[in-house]
Chain A
Amino acid sequence: MDPAPDSLAAPACRSTWVTRLLGSLCLWHALTLVICILPGQWRSSGVVGEVLGQYQNATGTQQEWTMFHTIPVIHRMDVRLEVTDPVGTPQPMGAVLPGFQPYPQPEEARYYSLFDRMTYLPQGQKYADALLARAANELGPAMDPGHAPLTLVIDAWYTRSLMGIHKLGETAVERTKEFRSSGKPTLSP
């Protein structure tokens, strides 16, 4: 194919060095896109991974299209904060800060993503620590962030296998994850 006639070229592209620069950027960007069709372990390691990561971070073009690449396992979720009263009884309160608003029902995508990611990301405990310290701070000076009897409770009902649902007649099984201000999260049955 013949090159595009000059009269058809955009004014911005008439300058040769601008054209070359833009052309190089476009070819580079196209290359970073095509590479991302390859399996993650091939493109995220070594120098390729480093260069690709920095470029995609700066341009906001991370290519992690993992939308429902496997089954969603949570049937229902509820989240609350619990503060233990002087008698030792846990008192539930809304977990959404600021303002201790209740976890939205029906559920909203951003909220369930947030608390679900908190349960499995390595830094989940750190996010929970910060949230609990903030909640204690908002509750008042009586609450010492280090020793506050505050707990973040994430109740998730996990869908059983289809075979399990047919056999037991139960759709999901409840698992509660509790985050406390200090120490590791506990997974209660």
Chain B
Amino acid sequence: MASLRQSILRLQNTLLWVCEDERIYAAVRIGFALVAFANLVLLWPDRLVFLSNRGLVDQGVTIAHHPWIYLSVFQWIENPAGITSVLIFSGFCMLLLALGILPRAAALVVFLWHLSFVARAPLVVTGWDQVLQAFSFLVLISPMGRAWSLVSSWRPAVVAMVPRYGLTLMRLQVAVIYLQTVLLKLGSPYWRNGEFMTYYLLSHNSRRPGNWVLPYEGQLGLVTFVALLAECAIPFLLFAGRTRFWGFLLGFLLHGGISLVSRNLEMFFATMLMTYLAFLRDGDVEKIGQWFRSKPAPE
């Protein structure tokens, strides 16, 4: 019993309390804040359509059918001016978070924004909104540090080592996203017989839906299997130290490819690449810095 307890403590220590370079958290914080800001900017023209009491999504119906406690600031703010103010304040806090100014308070506002938006307008929520929402909670509870903030640019400090618990949860979150979706896809006959990609390119999700895809059914079958295999492999490649680069590359190619053939999925591409920042390790930041420094200066 004592050895079991010791094993659990040891595992807990390895997963949560071993320290990592605080600049990895800073990279995630900045990447997350900028992607969330871009998402907010894209939502801006439609804010009254999706969030106001004059738009398309009725809050009364949403509350009546919300399966859990309805947590959204929009239950108190329904008028256009109030909604515009919430968006401006949330966007401002995203920029504060990116700059590392009052990061914990800014992260709290950004978390509340995602919670409120997703609860208020479930009909318009996309996959990348859900990824950003999940990450907003993980960024909120993670060590913030002072690296790569506005303050550190004025008063440079020694880079600190901070506990890795936030990074562990972010990495696990990314793995769950991929593994759950792979398991669901394995249940679909269209993924198993390779027809998925042909149907996808015929749908309105495609950048150019049309019959031009039909002569390529065989090749698209191969693309379907490769995409499924890639989704399965990415988390494993990212977790293992030696194969992380191949995980990054495969993820970039997969999501970049999806983004190229799809309409409106650029934000998903950016969001998933942002999540990969959590897989950086000690030394990566130095290597990236060295790589930049080694590039010849423009004449």
Does B41 reach chain A (CB closer than 8 Å)?
Answer: no
Does A91 reach chain B (CB closer than 8 Å)?
Answer: no
Chain B positions within 8 Å of A111 at CB level:
124
Q: How far is the CA of A25 from the CA of B114 in the complex (A)?
A: 21
Chain B positions within 8 Å of A68 at CB level:
185, 196, 200, 205
Chain B positions within 8 Å of A34 at CB level:
172, 176
Checking A77, A98, A108, A162 against B55 with a beta-carbon cut-off of 8 angstroms, the contacting residue is A98
The size of the chain B interface, using a CB distance under 8 A, is 82
Within 8 A of A (CB), among B191-233: 191, 195-196, 198-200, 202-205, 209-211, 214, 217
Chain A positions within 8 Å of B199 at CB level:
71-73, 159, 162
Interface residues of B (CB under 8 A from A): 10, 12-19, 43, 46, 48-50, 52, 54-58, 60-61, 64-65, 67-69, 71, 111, 114-115, 118, 123-127, 130, 133-134, 136-137, 141, 143, 160-163, 165, 168-169, 172-173, 176-177, 179-181, 183-185, 187-188, 190-191, 195-196, 198-200, 202-205, 209-211, 214, 217, 263-265
Q: How far is the CA of A113 from the CA of B17 in the complex (A)?
A: 42
Q: Look across to chain B and name the residue whose beta carbon is closest to the beta carbon of A118.
A: B123
Q: Taking the nearest CB of chain A, how far is it from the CB of B18, in angstroms?
A: 5
- Cross-chain contact A109 with B265 (CB below 8 angstroms): yes
Q: Taking the nearest CB of chain A, how far is it from the CB of B182, in angstroms?
A: 9
Chain A positions within 8 Å of B56 at CB level:
96-97, 114, 127, 131
Chain A positions within 8 Å of B200 at CB level:
68, 71-72
Chain B positions within 8 Å of A98 at CB level:
48-49, 52, 54-55
Chain A positions within 8 Å of B161 at CB level:
8
Q: Taking the nearest CB of chain A, how far is it from the CB of B214, in angstroms?
A: 7
Q: Is the interface of B mostly helix, strand, loop or mixed?
A: helix
Does A148 reach chain B (CB closer than 8 Å)?
Answer: no
Chain A positions within 8 Å of B204 at CB level:
72, 74-77, 107, 112
Within 8 A of B (CB), among A100-118: 101, 106-114, 117-118
- Cross-chain contact B176 with A75 (CB below 8 angstroms): no
Q: Look across to chain A and name the residue whose beta carbon is closest to the beta carbon of B46.
A: A110
Within 8 A of B (CB), among A75-97: 75-77, 96-97
Q: Taking the nearest CB of chain B, how far is it from the CB of A188, in angstroms?
A: 21
- Cross-chain contact B211 with A165 (CB below 8 angstroms): yes
